[in-house]
Amino acid sequence: MTGNDYVTEADRTLEETYEEPMSLAAYVDRIFENPTIASHASKYLLEAIEAAGTRTVVEEGEENERYRFFDDPHNDGEHAILGNTEVLNRFVDDLRSIASGRAKDEKIIWFEGPTATGKSELKRCLVNGLREYSKTPEGRRYTVEWNVTTAGADDRGLSYGDSDPTAMDDKHWYESPVQTHPLSVFPESVRERVLADLNGDLEDHVPVRVDAALDPFSREAYDFLEERYRREGKEALFSAIIDDDHLRVKNYVVDIGQGVGVLHSEDDGSPKERLVGSWMHGMLQELDSRGRKNPQAFSYDGVLSQGNGVLTIVEDAAQHADLLQKLLNVPDEQSVKLDKGIGMDIDTQMLIISNPDLEAQLNQHSDRNGMDPLKALKRRLDKHQFGYLTNLSLECELIRRELTNETSVWEAESYAELEDRIREPVTVTVKDQTGEPRPQEFAPHAIEAAALYAVVTRLDEESLPNGLDLVDKALIFDQGFLQEGDSRREKDEFDFDDNAHDGEHGIPVTYTRDTLAELLQTDRDRHHPELSVEDVVMPRDVLNTMAEGLANAPVFSMGERSEFENRIVPVKNYVFDRQESDVIEAIMHDKRVDEETVAEYVENVYAWETDEPLYNDRGERVEPDPLKMKLFEVEHLGRFSEAEYDGNVPRESVRNFRREKVITSLNRHAWEHRDEDFAVEDVDLTAIPVIKSVLESHDWDDVERTFEDFDPRQWDDPPSGTETAAVKDRTIETMVERFDYSEASAELTSRHVMGQVSYRWD
């Protein structure tokens, strides 16, 4: 593309975003065609969220529908809010109640949570989402602009800034500084009639409400035009006021300062300045206000003024605790004052964001019981609490975001897809001491190890069901189930405490990020100086460094340090099991049982158990073959020995295994697909846990049985020509080609695993 092509594309983008101004009558016709463009603030925010659609997620072991709006889809996921779906869904439910006027009208929505839980992302996500929604036909947002210079000889003018009487005509058009709703131009009785007709045709459960009168700036223009044309004796007075020469309805793109007001922690000034703005005294004199304060001389740069029409956000609200009491009656009265004599109606959804320190301030007088001076404020706050992530996959995703430029939100059709993302290596480019860039690799399972450890520190140990440890709980929360050998247990089979304090404290992602970043810049002793592996960070490096850093991290208390240090052992064991599984599967990769052999075994077992004839997909009747079943169970499953058969006739232990592990799974599959034409050959064999283990996993017994001369004690430097050397060559190659390892990380991982296995090999 040429430079002109890019300019043309930008032109098209803006043309699709903005419209030519229209008359008030044309706007009314437009809202009857598309009522969403007239929505009041809370309804508009609700519609923007719902317009993005939903997707299904699993969090804390429960399946839930998540609004894609919070994935920041318009910004490629850069400011997606990871996790906290249930909290966000409750927020949307409350928003729906507020928008419909059924309840909570007087509430100020409050998001609270510890550091690094996604609260700042919420603000950015809301701003991004509303901005992009306002560019769509359904989300167009409108306000009015005025021109009074054509109303006669009086050159009094209209301005809320510097005015230039020699400017072109278009310069004399002034937009409402607080995005006033176009319908507020109508007299109240007429506006109510418009809304009644509009809502009568709505299928939506949330009617459009426009209760606000014109803002003071627009009222000044309206009153000036009304007085002028009334003196002239105009019969159609309202039509004269809203003539195309004086009033235009224009669309605007919602953004910070225009429809979204954000009060930052560093913003200062009096409460009035922070809320609505301040008087510009020089302008008062220039406007010849005849002894009164002219609303044209007001700055309208306060958070409520900027957020009028859509959303008002008070960020780090503990820094503005004095302001919160000034907001007490704003939601239900929907008005504020510029001055004692000048009020302003507003329509905005108020939302405050804070760390837990705000709650401490609000509770400072709680011991006074009914005399608490902050009781009225606390009653109006609708609290939604963000917590630390308790899902392994989400924490992995978050850590990767912190270390790289990845922004896409992870979506998967099955948990197996997520598992692949969790274990993936990550390569980051850093500069060495000479300033030269060099790639450094977090080996497979390194990010997983950091994420799992962080999640484990956030889980409530007191609420663990019998027989589970914290790693088990973390896996159940992420998968929704726990696989234990041949058995799969769903979350609802465990007695989890609904009042557990999961996600309330623990290692924040900022600590993990900083620890991993330091590891990238640290010269690490790999205990293998002959290897060129200085650019590989292993899972054990990550876990050891995270645990060692707890003692010097001021963010943790003494109690937390001790508690977190005690939780690292099960994480190390789990990660080693994952590495061990990779190595075994790489060793046995070419020795896997093919699906055809497994399917034949399943057909034989089913035919052995059923009294009715069974036919395969070729139309051939399946007669159970006792020898084939026995060989499969002894050689491939490794479950039984020759002693558990009388010839080829299975004893009770084998018969029970066939019925409980194979037939039961088949019957369950048949029941789940009872509305379909069920046939054994249609079964996904990996849906049967015991068969899945045959197809996808092996153990050291399989290795020993397959490679009789293999010796893990020779792995570091196997003698040339030995079976161990041949196995190692194939294993490293497979780990690189199939499991995303680099040669260095494959070497280090396999050495680590073999070092542990060699102790128990005999």
Of 356, 379, 402, the position where a domain reaches its end is 379
Would 345 be classed as within a structural domain?
yes
Would 29 be classed as within a structural domain?
no
Exposed, middle or buried, 431 (CB in 10 Å: 0-12/13-18/19+)?
exposed
**pLDDT tens figures, 591-644:** 777 777 877 888 888 888 876 666 666 677 778 889 988 988 887 777 788 889
Structurally, the chain folds into a number of domains equal to: 3
Would 631 be classed as within a structural domain?
yes
**pLDDT tens figures, 101-152:** 877 777 889 999 988 888 889 999 999 999 999 999 999 999 999 998 866 5
Would 449 be classed as within a structural domain?
yes
Same domain, 347 and 414: no
Same domain, 143 and 231: yes
Task: Provide mean pLDDT across the span 42-55.
Answer: 95
Asked whether the predicted pLDDT for residue 362 surpasses 80, the reply is no
Domain that holds residue 144: 36-152+169-364+373-379
Instruction: Please indicate whether residue 619 or residue 43 has the higher confidence score (pLDDT).
Output: 43
Same domain, 351 and 405: no
**What three-state secondary structure class fits 356?**
coil
> Cα separation of 555 and 567, whole Å?
18
* pLDDT classification of 275: cutoffs 50, 70, 90: very high
> Cα separation of 453 and 508, whole Å?
11
Which residues, other chains included, contact 404 with Cβ-Cβ below 8 Å and sequence gap of 6+? 426, 428
Of 546, 563, 580, the position where a domain reaches its end is 563
Would 27 be classed as within a structural domain?
no
> Cα separation of 365 and 371, whole Å?
8
CB atoms within 10 A of CB 542: 25
> Cα separation of 686 and 416, whole Å?
12
CA atoms within 13 A on the CB side of 319: 12
> Residue 600 has what pLDDT?
82
End-to-end Cα distance, the chain = 67
List the CATH number of the domain containing 229.
Answer: 3.40.50.300
* pLDDT classification of 571: cutoffs 50, 70, 90: very high
Task: State the pTM of this model.
Answer: 0.83
**pLDDT tens figures, 516-541:** 998 887 654 444 444 455 689 999 99
Same domain, 310 and 402: no
Same domain, 177 and 222: yes
Same domain, 458 and 310: no
The percentage of residues in the chain with a pLDDT greater than 70, rounded to a whole number, is 84
Instruction: Please indicate whether residue 434 or residue 241 has the higher confidence score (pLDDT).
Output: 241
**pLDDT tens figures, 363-374:** 777 777 667 767
Same domain, 315 and 352: yes
- The radius of gyration of the chain from alpha carbons, rounded to an integer in Å, stands at 34
Contact 83, 307 (CB under 8 A): no
**pLDDT tens figures, 464-477:** 888 889 999 999 99
Same domain, 339 and 434: no
Would 28 be classed as within a structural domain?
no
Contact 196, 90 (CB under 8 A): no
DSSP secondary structure, 254-310, as one string: -EETBEEEEE-TT--S-HHHHHT--B-HHHHHHTT-TTS--GGGB---SHHHHHTTS
Same domain, 266 and 327: yes
Structure tokens at 556: 């943790």
Identify residue 355 by its one-letter amino acid code: N
Same domain, 350 and 399: no
Same domain, 556 and 659: no
Would 568 be classed as within a structural domain?
no
Q: Which strands, in side-by-side order, build the sheet including 349-354? A: 255-256, 259-263, 311-314, 349-354, 108-112, 381-385
Same domain, 360 and 400: no
Would 470 be classed as within a structural domain?
yes
